[in-house]
């Protein structure tokens, strides 16, 4: 509720900053545009930060909360839960398509006030709709801070670092009740590996003499230890998503740079190169129903799995498709550079007569890869996370997107540094006709291949969660 309020207030603040004369800069006179006052800047950025805080709080929770509405003990609902993640991501992309087309048109032609006001209005309607179903929802009981529980395991295991872990796991501490000591969580079965963390659940002589097992900073349950083990086992799978996100980041960076030096005209109409990202959204919108209604039923007949593919298999397919997207971009760039050389445009920062629509396949491949990898990540981190850590694990899956952007910037910086040594123009100079952007795309394709093989190794070694 708090995050929804932040998001709604943020949208309302932005609307006011673009509508109220005292809160927006004076209109431009010709080419002279008076700067905004400090107070106007403050109101504007206050609205942006409220939206960022609200979105950051909602995104990792909304998919988990939606999936919590399905009963795992019911086979039919369990299958529907798999479809939920597909259609959840589908709805996000419908919203992205509307915002990048209709709302942008309104902002350009009717003003920013109306452009911000419309989503603010619909945000209010969404909040009212959400709260109207309060009596119908299934609520997961909050289990407290997962960060605190992880710290307790680390502290308790360090304190007992000199103790031996018994070979019989039944001697490790666990509550005798049917339910776990962690509110809203099922008990987790003991797993082999990471024995050093098991020391947190070893009952020492001091614990046995005092009979006080209530201090989790000294003694943790097996379930609490297994929570941390699950997160550690998830880490390699999570890390491979960062490279995929770096590939995804090319849509808003180097794909646009490539498109700017291609033919962007259709008759008298000019296509903004950045607008081609719409084809990524269209690809997702097309692939979700194809995957959910066609691919899953066919795959189910061969694999025998309720959802056609396991989450790990699904993510692996997406990583493979991401290689195709970078390869397609590289092939387009090779052809573009050939035309630049044939027409004598190498030394000119000018577009070549190659239609920008040749970029569509690389955008469509990225969209297809999203459907497999990003949705597979949402489902994997929800299913494999401990019951009381689902929102945290969903947040970790979203974190790969931001880290992927940082990785993309780092790779670009390193490529520029090494390829411009000795006064060379480098792969990505200001004039791309003199560079080799295709080498950069091949580099990302190669990194994606390596990442895919690392993922396959990690996926084969991954041990599934076992809950009571």
pLDDT at 330: 96
pLDDT at 113: 85
Beta-bridged to residue 467, according to DSSP, are 188
**In the chain, % of residues over pLDDT 90:** 29
pLDDT at 144: 74
**69, 138 Cβ separation under 8 angstroms:** yes
Q: How far apart are CA 25 and CA 33, in angstroms?
A: 8
Q: Lowest-confidence range among 26-35, 153-162, 323-332, 371-380?
A: 26-35
The dihedral over CA atoms of 157, 159, 161, 167, expressed in degrees to the nearest 10, equals -60
Provide DSSP, 23-68. Answer: GSPPPPBTTB-PPPPHHHHHHHHHHHHHHHHHHHHHHHHHHHHHHT
pLDDT at 331: 96
- Mean of pLDDT values over 334-347: 90
Three-state SS for 179-206 is CCCCCCCCCECCCCCCHHHHHHHCCCHH
Is pLDDT at 177 greater than 80 in this prediction?
Answer: no
pLDDT at 4: 76
CA-nearest of 327, 303, 309 to 376 is 309
**59, 3 Cβ separation under 8 angstroms:** no
- Mean of pLDDT values over 362-367: 94
Mean pLDDT taken over the chain: 86
Q: How far apart are CA 387 and CA 372, in angstroms?
A: 24
pLDDT at 184: 67
pLDDT at 414: 94
pLDDT at 329: 95
CA-nearest of 254, 271, 255 to 263 is 271
pLDDT at 101: 78
For helices 360-384 and 222-248, angle between their N-to-C axes, nearest 10 degrees? 180
Q: 86-143 pLDDT, tens per residue?
A: 888 888 888 888 887 788 788 777 888 888 888 889 888 888 888 888 888 877 777 7
Q: 218-249 pLDDT, tens per residue?
A: 888 888 898 899 999 999 999 999 999 999 99
Q: How many residues does the chain have?
A: 468
Backbone dihedral region for residue 426 (phi beyond 0: left; psi -120 to 50: alpha; all else: beta): left
Q: 69-87 pLDDT, tens per residue?
A: 887 777 778 778 878 888 8
**In the chain, % of residues over pLDDT 70:** 98
Which two three-digit tokens encode residue 219?
């003694």
Q: What are phi and psi of 148, to 5 degrees?
A: -65, -45
Is pLDDT at 467 greater than 70 in this prediction?
Answer: no
pLDDT at 356: 92
Which two three-digit tokens encode residue 438?
């295709």
pLDDT at 468: 62
pLDDT at 216: 84
- Integer-rounded Cα Rg, in Å, for the chain is 26
- Mean of pLDDT values over 38-64: 84
Instruction: Tell me the longest C-alpha to C-alpha distance in the chain.
Output: 88
Is pLDDT at 368 greater than 90 in this prediction?
Answer: yes
Please report, for residues 283, 335, 374, the alpha-carbon distance to residue 39 in angstroms, rounded to integers and kept in the order given.
42, 51, 40
Q: 427-465 pLDDT, tens per residue?
A: 999 888 888 999 999 999 999 999 999 999 999 998 887
Is pLDDT at 28 greater than 80 in this prediction?
Answer: no
Q: 186-195 pLDDT, tens per residue?
A: 888 888 888 8
Is pLDDT at 350 greater than 90 in this prediction?
Answer: no
Residue carrying the six token digits 């050939």: 338
- Mean of pLDDT values over 155-168: 88
Q: 401-420 pLDDT, tens per residue?
A: 889 999 999 999 999 999 98
């Amino acid at each position: 509720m708090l995050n929804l309020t932040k998001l709604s207030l943020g949208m309302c603040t932005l609307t006011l900053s673009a509508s109220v004369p005292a809160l927006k800069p004076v209109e431009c006179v010709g080419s002279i545009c008076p700067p905004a006052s400090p107070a106007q800047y403050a109101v504007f950025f206050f609205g942006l930060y409220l939206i960022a805080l609200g979105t950051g709080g909602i995104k990792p929770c909304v998919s988990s909360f939606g999936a919590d509405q399905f009963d795992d003990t019911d086979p039919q609902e369990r299958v529907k839960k798999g479809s939920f993640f597909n259609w959840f991501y589908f709805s996000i992309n419908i919203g992205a398509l509307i915002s990048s087309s209709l709302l942008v048109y309104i902002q350009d032609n009717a003003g920013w006030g109306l452009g911000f006001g419309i989503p603010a209005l619909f945000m209010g309607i969404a909040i009212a709709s959400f709260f109207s179903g309060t009596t119908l929802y299934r609520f997961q009981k909050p289990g407290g801070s997962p960060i605190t529980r992880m710290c307790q395991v680390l502290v308790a295991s360090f304190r007992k670092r000199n103790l031996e872990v018994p070979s019989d796991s039944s001697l490790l501490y666990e509550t005798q009740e049917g339910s776990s000591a962690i509110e809203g969580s099922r008990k987790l079965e003991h797993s082999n590996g990471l024995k050093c963390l098991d020391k947190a659940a070893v009952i020492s002589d001091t614990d046995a003499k005092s009979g006080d097992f209530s201090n989790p900073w000294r003694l943790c349950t097996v379930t609490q230890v297994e929570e941390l083990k699950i997160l550690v086992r998830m880490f390699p799978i999570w890390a491979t998503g960062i490279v995929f996100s770096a590939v995804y980041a090319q849509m808003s960076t180097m794909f646009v740079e490539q498109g700017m030096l291609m033919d962007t005209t259709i008759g008298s109409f000019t296509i903004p190169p950045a607008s081609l990202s719409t084809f990524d959204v269209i690809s997702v919108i097309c692939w979700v129903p194809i995957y959910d209604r066609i691919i899953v039923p066919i795959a189910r007949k061969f694999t025998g799995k309720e959802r056609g593919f396991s989450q790990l298999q699904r993510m692996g397919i997406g990583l493979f498709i991401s290689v195709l997207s970078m390869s397609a971009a590289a092939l387009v760039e090779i052809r573009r550079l050939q035309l630049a050389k044939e027409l004598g445009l190498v030394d000119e920062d000018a577009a070549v007569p190659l239609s920008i629509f040749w970029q569509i396949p690389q955008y469509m491949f990225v969209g297809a890869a999203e459907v497999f990898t990003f949705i597979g990540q949402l489902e994997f981190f929800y299913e494999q996370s401990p019951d009381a850590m689902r929102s945290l694990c969903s947040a970790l899956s979203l974190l790969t997107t931001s880290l992927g952007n940082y990785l993309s910037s780092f790779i670009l910086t390193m490529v520029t540094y090494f390829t411009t040594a000795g006064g060379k123009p480098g792969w990505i100079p200001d004039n791309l006709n003199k560079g080799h952007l295709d080498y950069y795309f091949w580099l990302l394709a190669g990194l994606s291949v390596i990442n895919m093989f690392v993922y396959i190794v990690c996926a084969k070694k991954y041990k599934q969660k076992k809950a009571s």
